């Protein structure tokens, strides 16, 4: 009987405390609510399901109020997200909807605030903050997986690669592909096409009411190639080549029209010294993109790194047949020409200081001069395209000084 009396007393006390909390929440007396919630929390093990749900409900509402009052704004908004989810999860488990129904307007308002705040930060290029806000929006409403996708992309923009990596992997685990429909119609007031997002009913209602006309449906293509491509970039930058390979090949298979997917594969195989694979994809790429200057230039650079300058020159000349004003190709050809100077200089330095060697020295000096003239021609063409490259301008000055003196 004593045990029953203690349990009943505890339940009765909680009931009174919760009634008091309800009054204080309505008055926005957040400080007192926090104190009473802490007190009720200690009695939760003996509480009824209805009392536990009430606790989560008032806790969520108070955290929203704290955030609105400017008290630890971000922290309390995050806590509110967790409390709302906890309440909905608890009532799902206990087959009740009493407080879930009441919390939904609060949830929807909070979600709208999070998304609006995230969009504002994105526009202002505060990408790290917007990525976290989109993540919170997703945590509050995980049906809208696009929020998680936005969180990952904004993390990439913020160079917050570890966070982005976890979010992209989460999207893959969720089998997110980003295919969607966007419903639009033309405003009768402005004459501009306006988006209604994924809400077809609202769009159709606007058309029916006469505020909009010319309804259309825009089909958004899959985001999977972008997800795999972004993950590949992150892992390649970390030099995690073994894991990057899976994502790089997947991105390429999903979208072979995107040159970046091919370049990632080439970079991967070159850096892991699998040149047979590199050559296989390079040949496929040149066949598919014979006029892509970026691909041809990257192939040239890789050959230069492999001391295969003749092949590199062939690719660079191909670029110039496509675009005679390609700055990178012109400058690189100048660099390759200038590399010959080292060999000539070594030969000159190896000559003995004798009268019989003077003839050979003069020949080599003429070779050196020819190297400089050829390099200067490429550099001057490059400068005509872009005269703001300081290293190039300095090289031109040095070469001209040498030629004036010799």
Residue with tokens 């923009």: 157
User: Do residues 214 and 231 share a domain?
Assistant: no
Residue 157: its pLDDT value, please? 96
| HSE-up (13 A, CA, CB side) for residue 11 | 11
Q: How far apart are CA 264 and CA 375, in angstroms?
A: 31
User: Do residues 196 and 235 share a domain?
Assistant: no
Question: In Å, what is the CA distance from 106 to each residue of 18, 57, 145, 283?
Answer: 19, 10, 20, 58
User: Do residues 211 and 306 share a domain?
Assistant: no
Residue 34 lies in a domain: yes
Q: Count structural domains, the chain.
A: 3
Backbone angles phi, psi at 216, to 5 degrees: -140, 160
More confident residue, 38 or 290: 290
pLDDT at 106 over 70: yes
Q: How far apart are CA 15 and CA 109, in angstroms?
A: 28
In this prediction, residues 399-404 reach a mean pLDDT of 88
Residue 152 lies in a domain: no
Confidence of residue 302 (pLDDT cuts 50, 70, 90): confident
User: Do residues 204 and 109 share a domain?
Assistant: no
User: Do residues 381 and 327 share a domain?
Assistant: yes
CA torsion, points 116, 117, 118, 121, in degrees to nearest 10?
120
User: Do residues 239 and 358 share a domain?
Assistant: yes
pLDDT at 11 over 70: no
Residue 173 lies in a domain: no
User: Do residues 306 and 331 share a domain?
Assistant: yes
pTM above 0.75, yes or no: no
Sheet holding 212-220, edge to edge: 193-195, 180-187, 212-220
Residue 329: its pLDDT value, please? 97
What is the tens place of the pLDDT at every residue in 314-330?
999 999 999 999 999 99
> Domain ends where: 78, 104, 124?
124
User: Do residues 287 and 202 share a domain?
Assistant: no
> Domain ends where: 124, 150, 169?
124
What is the tens place of the pLDDT at every residue in 165-190?
999 999 999 999 888 788 889 989 88
Range of the domain at 235: 225-405
Q: What is the mean pLDDT of the chain?
A: 88
User: Do residues 367 and 282 share a domain?
Assistant: yes
Residue 244 lies in a domain: yes
Max CA separation in the chain (angstroms): 123
Residue with tokens 């825009």: 218
User: Do residues 186 and 249 share a domain?
Assistant: no
Structure tokens at 245: 């390979």
In this prediction, residues 24-52 reach a mean pLDDT of 83
Q: How far apart are CA 330 and CA 392, in angstroms?
A: 11
Residue 174 lies in a domain: no
> Domain ends where: 170, 200, 220?
220
User: Do residues 198 and 338 share a domain?
Assistant: no
Residue 93 lies in a domain: yes
pLDDT at 46 over 70: yes
User: Do residues 21 and 77 share a domain?
Assistant: yes
Residue 234: its pLDDT value, please? 97
Residue 57 lies in a domain: yes
In this prediction, residues 189-212 reach a mean pLDDT of 85
């Amino acid at each position: 009987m004593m045990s029953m009396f203690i349990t009943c007393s505890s339940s009765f006390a909680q009931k009174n405390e919760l009634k008091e909390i309800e009054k204080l929440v309505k008055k926005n007396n957040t400080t007192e609510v926090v104190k009473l919630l802490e007190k009720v929390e200690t009695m939760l093990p003996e509480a009824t399901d209805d009392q536990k749900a009430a606790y989560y409900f008032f806790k969520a509402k108070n955290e929203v109020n704290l955030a609105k009052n400017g008290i630890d704004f971000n922290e309390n908004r995050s806590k509110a997200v967790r409390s709302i989810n906890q309440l909905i999860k608890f009532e799902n488990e206990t087959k009740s909807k009493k407080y879930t129904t009441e919390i939904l307007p609060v949830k929807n308002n909070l979600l709208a605030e999070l998304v609006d705040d995230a969009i504002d930060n994105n526009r202002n290029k505060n990408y790290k903050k917007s990525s976290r806000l989109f993540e919170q929006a997703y945590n509050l409403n995980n049906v809208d997986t696009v929020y998680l996708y936005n969180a990952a992309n904004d993390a990439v923009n913020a160079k917050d690669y570890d966070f982005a990596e976890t979010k992209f992997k989460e999207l893959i685990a969720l089998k997110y592909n980003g295919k969607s429909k966007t419903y639009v119609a033309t405003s009768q007031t402005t004459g501009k096409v306006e988006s209604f997002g994924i809400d077809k009913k609202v769009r159709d209602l606007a058309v029916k009411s006469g505020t909009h006309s010319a309804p259309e449906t825009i089909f958004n293509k899959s985001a999977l190639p972008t997800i795999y491509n972004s993950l590949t970039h992150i892992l390649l930058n970390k030099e995690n080549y073994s894991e990057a390979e899976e994502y790089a090949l997947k991105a390429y298979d999903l979208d072979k029209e995107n040159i970046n997917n091919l370049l990632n594969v080439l970079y991967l195989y070159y850096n892991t010294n699998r040149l047979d694979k590199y050559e296989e994809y390079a040949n496929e790429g040149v066949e598919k993109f014979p006029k892509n200057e970026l691909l041809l230039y990257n192939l040239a650079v890789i050959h230069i790194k492999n001391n295969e300058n003749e092949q590199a020159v062939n690719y660079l000349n191909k670029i110039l047949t496509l675009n005679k004003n390609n700055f990178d190709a012109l400058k690189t050809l100048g660099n390759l020409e200038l590399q010959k100077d080292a060999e000539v200089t070594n030969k000159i330095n190896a000559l003995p200081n004798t009268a019989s060697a003077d003839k050979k020295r003069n020949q080599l000096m003429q070779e050196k001069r020819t190297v400089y003239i050829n390099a200067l021609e490429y550099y001057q063409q490059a400068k005509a395209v872009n005269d703001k490259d300081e290293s190039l301008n300095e090289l031109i000055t040095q070469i001209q000084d040498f030629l004036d003196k010799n």
